[in-house]
Amino acid sequence: MKKFLTAKWHDLIMVNYEVEPSLLAASVPLGTELDLQEGKCFVSLVGFMFLDTRVMDFLIPFHVNFEEVNLRFYVRREADGEVRRGVVFVKEIVPRRAIASVARVVYGELYERWSMSNFRNGETVSYTWQKGDCSNTLSVERGQSLGVPAEGSHGEFIIEHYWGYTKRGADRTDEYKVEHPKWELFAAGNPQIDVDFGETYGPDFDFLTTTKPKSTLLAAGSEIAVYKGQTINC
């Protein structure tokens, strides 16, 4: 497989909600199934920084360092004698129109351009995204290092997914690989989640606006590589 994009993903805030599997059933790509932890189904709101971004080893001016916020859920697929644990994106939000356009064309992902900003000073990590009258903020205070999460833990379940799956229609699923080392977690203190889920992600997710999350994680991040996608045989 050929690398399509390399970057550094840093300061990942991950807010995780337990939901009914029926909420996601129609969005599960053909050839995959929902990945559950101890029978529980999760969606995650993730805010983070893209840094030193290169597409096919090229830096694109004004598109090197930027924020992203996405809403995602988790699936799995058995292939080539292994279980591939992956993510499916409900929507990904970025501040640059060209980034959104390329991602829609190359990966078929639902990317949107919003005005975005971040604040990171070593103690606080905060992301804001706004379009029209809808303004959302996600922030935490960085606590002590918790290290790499233990095998089988909730933290490991959330961060240890190395494949992406895109539903490109009723009969087509695209798969791509994401490569990175295991991430260190930090205590995520005083989480502030001021997000209009209904306006941002659609009415099916409006209930999350007033739902208490199962957990809020803060991952240090690392260098990453995203490989060119391919259509899978279902």
* Percent of all residues in the chain with a pLDDT value above 70, rounded to a whole number: 91
How much is the pLDDT for 5?
Answer: 83
The CA distance from 22 to 27, in Å, is 10
H-assigned helices in the chain: 97-107, 154-159, 197-201
DSSP label of 132: T
- Looking at residue 151, the DSSP 8-state letter turns out to be T
Q: pLDDT 10s digit of each residue in the chain, 234 long?
A: 778 789 999 999 999 999 999 999 999 999 999 999 999 999 999 999 999 887 755 445 446 789 999 999 999 999 888 999 999 999 999 997 655 556 555 555 678 899 999 999 989 999 999 999 999 999 999 999 999 999 999 999 999 999 999 988 788 999 999 999 999 999 999 999 999 999 999 999 999 999 999 999 999 999 999 998 888 876
Q: Helix or strand or coil: residue 133? A: coil
CA-wise closest residue to 229 among 112, 102, 113 = 102
- The terminus-to-terminus CA distance of the chain in angstroms comes to 19
* 93-126 confidence digits (pLDDT tens): 999 765 555 655 555 567 889 999 999 998 999 9
The CATH number that applies at residue 153 is: 2.40.400.10
pTM of the model: 0.92
Distance, CA of 65 to CA of 52 (rounded, Å):
6
DSSP state of 179: E
Say how many domains are in the chain: 1
Which pLDDT does position 199 carry in this prediction? Answer: 97
Rg (CA), the chain: 17
Are the CB atoms for 154 and 44 separated by under 8 Å?
no
Full domain range(s) for residue 85 = 3-231
Q: Are the CB atoms for 112 and 91 separated by under 8 Å?
A: yes
Instruction: Say whether 25 sits in a helix, a strand or coil.
Output: helix
